[in-house]
Structure 1
Amino acid sequence: MRIDAAVLRAKSLLIKSDSALLDAQVLLSFVLQKESVYLMTWPEKHLTESQQKAYEVLLVERIKGVPVAYLTGIREFWSLPFKVNNSTLIPRPDTEILVEYALKICSPQARILDLGTGTGAIILSIASELPNARCSGVDFNADAVQLAIENRQILKLNNVNIYQSDWFSQVEGRFDLIVSNPPYIDKNDHHLGEGDVRFEPLSALVAPQKGLADIRIIVADARSHLNENATLMIEHGFEQGKEVRNILRLFDFDEIKTVHDYAQNERISMAIYRGLK
């Protein structure tokens, strides 16, 4: 079968995907071990029998709903390639906004902590832009820690320390910036039965108290780990902005603000901790 015919057939099979053509192209590029531009440059080339069989296997899994990133083992974030597996969330484009704002406020030598680092996408992206910063990423999940360490090694970012910790339990010292994309979905949220999240670990998605329990823990305990006039930055659900701002206010944070994601939903809240009063 020709490349162009294989892609069109795959697109017709992936009718339940919002990105059927892109999925078809990414999966075929993965099978061929070529960049996606190869598919457009050589549409007339034929797949070998083994390539076609491998493509069919991936398509069957994608039709079941398995995320493309889990099938290829790679997801791009901040223009960097990150290994992914089902021990962590798949990095989302909207989370790049957190990286963007972190870079706006950080000094080149800042000390930065990422709580619940998962693949390491947030802290490694920040570290790639701030080679002299002292960066740390922690996660309670040992498999996620190992994955983040592998990504650090692949990206050759030696200014990042990654280790296991249940939020702040193993964290020592104070930081100029603490960032986190914690679990923030309510266990009864209907979105848990839709799309890629069906295959992602619930422990990285769901939190008690209508999704706010872990955010409350982070905000309360961050005060013992922030330098004077340091910043806390948290990603949250699109309907949680008001509650998160209230939590930050309750624990004596100042200059509280929320920024929007690419769909203009409230997504990242940040605030400054002035220190003990």
Structure 2
Amino acid sequence: MNCSAPTLAQALNQAHTLGLERIDAQLLLLHAVARPDAGRAWLLAHDTDAMDEAAHAQFLALCQRRVAGEPVAYLTGRKEFYGLPLQVDARVLDPRPDTETLVDWALEVVAPLAAPRVVDLGTGSGAIALALQSQRADAKVLAVDASADALAVAQANAQRLGFPVLFQRGDWLQGVDGVFDAIVSNPPYIASADPHLAALTHEPLQALASGADGLEDIRTIVAQAPAHLRPGGWLLLEHGYDQAQAVQALLFAQGFTQVQSRNDLAGIARCTGGQWPVAQTVK
């Protein structure tokens, strides 16, 4: 093969030899040839096109970084979530497709309401808040994060997409005014001693780990939520693959009703929520 001008197909084979997943290699190759929106079908149609030397060098460098564990979204600076092209980098978590389950559920609980008020806690890149706003133009969506860096990423995404999401820096619901029809959050939920954290060194630790059992932040949110939910409002939380039962117990203990869990794309219970009861009228 002519190393100075490999074809796109040859470059993908090189990535495969390095151990990359095919989808990762395709996304990195589209980025390297400055065609990020072209799609994987474009690569197939152009597989005999020659790469220029600079693009090929950039592609191989990106492949090496991916092999070292850096998320594709950080390498390309973009990630699609709920059909929205988001800009992401190492200041925020790489949005996972499974989190779309949480968005679906939130849209379901506010579906009957006009101009629902929703708050997304620990918004990161703004993925959840922006997805909700994209589907409900009438919703009043507030996005909260303790990290100024994360808020900068989220606000830039909102501005670029033209969505009127409001942003506030804060520690969960502390300092947040008013009541909401839904509180949604994908908070940190990994135990601080979990060996899996070692493989996530490229992502911000404060957005991943939450105390000895991984439930510290969820406990805080569950305790704060009742003061910020209208009667009949919902608290919806994403959590670890083995935490559904523990999160359900926390919600029941706090007085939530209709407590239930939803499965992610792999069929694992990864979202748990409950409804704040409507006050019963005394006869």
Alignment of 1:97-136 (within 5 A): 97-106=101-110, 107-136=113-142
Q: Distance in 2 between matches of 1:105 and 1:181?
A: 17
- TM-score normalised over the length of structure 2: 0.92
8 A contact 2:186–2:238 mirrored in 1: yes
Q: Distance in 2 between matches of 1:124 and 1:224?
A: 24
Q: Distance in 2 between matches of 1:28 and 1:257?
A: 42
Question: SS of the residue aligned with 2:235?
Answer: strand
User: Where do 5+ consecutive residues of structure 2 fail to align?
Assistant: 1-5
Q: Distance in 1 between matches of 2:15 and 2:242?
A: 36
Aligned match of 1:152 in 154, 158, 177? Answer: 158
Cα offset, 1:214, TM superposition: 0.6
Cα offset, 1:81, TM superposition: 0.8
1:21 pairs with 2:22:
yes
Identity %: 38
1:222 pairs with 2:194:
no
Q: Which residue in the other structure is 2:183 paired with? A: 178
Aligned match of 1:241 in 239, 244, 256? Answer: 244
- TM-score normalised over the length of structure 1: 0.94
Please tell me the residue identity of whatever aligns with 2:13: L
Q: Distance in 2 between matches of 1:42 and 1:128?
A: 33
Q: Which residue in the other structure is 2:3 paired with? A: none
Q: Distance in 2 between matches of 1:164 and 1:85?
A: 19
8 A contact 2:192–2:212 mirrored in 1: no
Cα offset, 1:87, TM superposition: 1.3
8 A contact 1:232–1:270 mirrored in 2: yes
Q: Which residue in the other structure is 2:16 paired with? A: 11
Please tell me the residue identity of whatever aligns with 1:63: V
8 A contact 1:164–1:170 mirrored in 2: no
Q: Distance in 2 between matches of 1:83 and 1:276?
A: 43
Q: Distance in 2 between matches of 1:118 and 1:4?
A: 36
Over the aligned positions, Cα root-mean-square deviation in angstroms equals 1.2
Q: Which residue in the other structure is 1:143 paired with? A: 149
User: Where do 5+ consecutive residues of structure 1 fail to align?
Assistant: none
Question: SS of the residue aligned with 2:242?
Answer: coil
Q: Which residue in the other structure is 1:231 paired with? A: 234
Give the 4+ runs in structure 1 shifted more than 4 A: none
Q: Which residue in the other structure is 1:77 paired with? A: 81
Q: Which residue in the other structure is 1:207 paired with? A: 210
